[in-house]
A and B are shown apart, each in its own frame.
Chain A
Amino acid sequence: MNVLFALATGVMFGMGVFQLLRRDLIKAAMGFYILFAAINLLFLAVGAYDGTAPAYVDASNQPDGQPSDPLVQALILTAIVISFGSYALLLGFIAASSRRFKTVDSNELDHLKG
């Protein structure tokens, strides 16, 4: 399973970078989101052990079997929230750029060039 995950994470990263570098800023934001998804996959893959039961349950109601690794789940939870926040911010910037400069093409946003 690990090899599949490793390959998938790599491919996902590659696709994310590709999408991130596109002219279209909305597509670039999507690329940004793909990168976050790839990171979530990575976290999922590096769990210390495979479990058969959820980690976070009522102690009195603990199902049978090995609980899954809680550490990576905590990390993934944090990552999901942060990625969504950044994504929303990014899309907000794009909306502002569209309103102000009437474009979502990053090549046309060359005001940095003197």
Chain B
Amino acid sequence: MDFALVVAIPFVLGISVYFLRDRLRPVQQGLLLTAGMALLFVFLLAQLPRVTEQGALEFVAPWMPQIGLTFALYVDGLGLLFGLLVTGIGSAVMLYTGCYMDDARQAGRFFALMLAFTGSMLAVVLAGNVVVLFIAWELTSVMSFLLIGFKGADDEARKGALQSLMITGGGGLALFVGLLLLGNAAGTMQLGEILSNGEALRQHPWYGAFTGLILLGCFSKSAQFPLHFWLPQAMNAPTPASAFLHSATMVKAGVYLLARLYPALGDTALWNAALSTVGLATMLVGAVLALRQRDLKGILAYTTISQLGALVALIGQPESAGLKAAAVGIVAHALYKGALFLIAGAVDHTTGTRNINELGGIGRQMRGLAAATAIAGLSMAGVPPLLGFVAKETLLETVIQQPLALAVVTVSAALTVTAALRLFWDVFMGAPRTRLPQPEHVPHDRHHPFGDDAFDYSCCHDLPPLMLASPGTLATLSVIAGVALAPLMAPLVSAAIGKQVSLYLFPPSGVNLALVLSGVALALGIGVFAVRRVWLKWSIPVPVSGVQVYDGTIRAVESVGDVLLKMQSGRIRYYLAVILFSVLVLLATAVPNIRIDLPTPAVQLTTAAHVLEAILLVLALAATLASILFERHLVAALALGIAGYAIGGMFLLEPAPDVALVQFLVETLATVLIIIILARTSQDERRRAMARLWGQTRRGSGARPCRVHRHGRGSRHLCPRRREQPAHTGRYRRMAPGECASAGWRQRRGRGDSHRLSRHGHPD
């Protein structure tokens, strides 16, 4: 019950802050939400001992009992770890956002979305039913879409938002099918039962199908190569959203689900091969591409991709060997990357740029920020005694037996060191740039959270303490967690992976290979950083980027749409023809089943009635044909009337005199009716309509309605004064003054030429 509240509270908070957004300043909104998130964090932390003792807690409420669907929550160590991450990083981000957002209305909208995301994400990690999990999963995708596109006026933001939704939503569809198959195979949608059913599921004939689909969903969500490209595009989101969603929590949902389903699906040849291959490839690609980025957030995005790859590869290790390293890595990464994202936002906020080439030497003015960056960067680089170091050590120890993986991890770790150094050194140290772009977006009085004169706030001055507090706290936590491994991290990780583990800063047995490689990576990274002037000039040829493939796909879909649109002529005749043709095709399928028995004799013309009937039949057909061939409507209508009378005559011969009477009556009425209609439409219109039998409309052709001398609707004549208007174009030629008006009219009808020439003999 209480866990259901945990999921519901963020939604309630989000809605309340949205409606209070006109009454509260952004900072007040932020503080309120920070308090709420911190309460949730404390509550979840308090559950940790309970979960460790009792195992998973389950909460089931009926939802749609008719189809056996329940709203179920399943709280175990893994869920709690992620829940703590969401609420912990969430509190820091909320506090920060209060200072980051300047406009209270904007802030209210942003907070509402962030809180809705928090609730969805908590539902993902606490879900006890795959249907609940999937719905929450898709909700996080939608919230991510809304947050990336938060600055909706920006083209790039909209594009990035759509792209991320396409990739994660498409992956979500695969995941949905996969989860349904999984539920079908397991015979239950309850996560707890699925997890305890692992042996049977791994033997199931559909194992390949549902595992493949679920992996696809997880890989798309966690930005695994080659679906990684949406994550850098997602950096158009406001920085707090990037820090929260696209680094610390949402992109780890894929990792979470992989770890969650490990007991049920994991540790098979398929699983291990897919996860290690994709994970290691992503790790390397992300680390290499991070070097080329100029945008601070771009660097952070690609190193995030690299780290996510490492986590996925760890979950692909046999016999749960990688889970410990994965759990440590998740926490370490969330702490330092969250801090670094917030710092990037702060740099952007005060200097007005995130381009690393335009930045440099700002550490002099922003000492606090520089210090926080240094700590977080050291954790990212994996320097003892920070948590990042422990994460890297456990990672290296896990793959110590696999030379290829070891090489990839070491190189990636080295490049991550380079990226961390670039983030710190090239932004905060070195020669200050002469002129920084000014942050234009902020009216200065807006900057003062607690009144006008609380801070002297011009460009490049230090940040308000509140804005520094969040990254500072996260960076400090990296240190504390690294130092206090045994009391803090060990219980958390043990609960998360469900068995007792011990963590240590340095191996108790002295120096081992992992430690050596860690040192090698550090040295290599520093070396690469030292020669950055050289490789920054290199252009790495990328044969085809994911964005290009994506854009190409979108273009292809659009061109198919264009072709389909061309089929829509908007013309009634066309649709009618399609309908008639379709009916014809349907009828044609019945042809093989039709048996035709010709009567004998086939044509019987023995009596006078028969002969008369045949004559009338021919007359009806001839009159109908005449009504088609005659262009003039009046003649056609009369011919149609004759056909009707002929049919009436046949009724008379049937003999059915009463039917014939009705037919004669109706036929007369119909002919009268059409003559009335002819009187009510202008001859001009009709002549235009029958100008060509099947052809396209030529707007300039045929007789045009007279726009100058508007007739009453009963008129059936061409405008009598049209001949005086020289401005008619199209088929009409401009008439010279004194030219024969009637000849002009005839020429318009298309048969007056010879007449005109013979009568007037104009030599031209």
Contact = CB atoms under 8 A, between A and B. Distances in A.
Interface of B: 568-573, 576-577, 580, 598-599, 602-605, 610, 613-614, 617, 620-621, 624-625, 627-628, 633, 636-637, 640, 643-644, 647, 650-651, 654-659, 662-663, 666, 669-670, 673-674, 677-678, 680-682, 685-686, 688-690, 692-694, 696-697, 705, 713
B570 A110 contact: yes
Contacts of A37: 620, 624, 643-644, 647
Contact of A11 (B603, B621, B644, B686): B621
Contacts of A76: 651, 656, 659
Nearest to B699: A108
B662 A81 contact: yes
Contacts of A40: 647, 663
B656 A23 contact: no
B673 A87 contact: yes
Contacts of B651: 44, 76
B624 A15 contact: yes
A8 to B, nearest CB: 5
A78 B650 CA distance: 17
A73 B654 contact: yes
Given A30-B640, A77-B662, A91-B674, A8 B620 contact: yes
Contacts of A20: 576, 580
Nearest to B650: A44
Contacts of B689: 23-27, 103-106, 108
Interface in A50-106: 51-56, 68, 73, 76-77, 80-81, 83-84, 87-88, 91, 94-95, 98-99, 102-106
B666 A84 contact: yes
Interface residues of A, number: 64
A24 B632 CA distance: 11
A21 interface: yes
A11 B622 CA distance: 11
Main secondary structure of the interface of A (DSSP, over half): helix
A42 B692 CA distance: 32
Nearest to A112: B570
Contacts, number: 184
Interface string A5-26: 1001001100101111111111
Given A23-B693, A26-B689, A37-B643, 18 more contacts: A1-B604, A4-B603, A15-B624, A15-B628, A19-B627, A19-B628, A22-B690, A41-B647, A44-B647, A55-B656, A73-B654, A81-B666, A91-B677, A98-B682, A98-B713, A103-B688, A106-B573, A110-B569
A84 B620 CA distance: 18
Contact of A18 (B569, B621, B628): B628
A94 B643 contact: no
Given A56-B658, A111-B570, A30 B692 contact: no
Contacts of B617: 4-5, 8, 41
A3 B688 CA distance: 40
Nearest to B614: A4
Contacts of A55: 656
B624 A34 contact: yes
A107 B573 contact: yes
B681 A104 contact: yes
Given A25-B689, A53-B655, A107-B573, A1 B644 contact: no
B686 to A, nearest CB: 6
B580 A17 contact: yes
Contact of A12 (B602, B605, B624): B624
A21 B570 contact: no
Contacts of B690: 22-24, 27
A12 B572 CA distance: 22
B571 A106 contact: yes
A57 to B, nearest CB: 9
B586 to A, nearest CB: 15
A62 to B, nearest CB: 13
B696 A107 contact: yes
Given A11-B621, A12-B624, A30-B640, A1 B633 contact: no
Contact of A80 (B570, B571, B663): B663
29 contacts: A5-B617, A8-B620, A15-B625, A17-B580, A22-B694, A23-B573, A23-B689, A23-B693, A24-B690, A26-B686, A37-B643, A40-B647, A55-B656, A73-B658, A77-B662, A83-B666, A88-B670, A91-B677, A94-B677, A95-B677, A95-B681, A103-B685, A106-B572, A106-B689, A107-B573, A108-B689, A109-B571, A112-B572, A113-B568
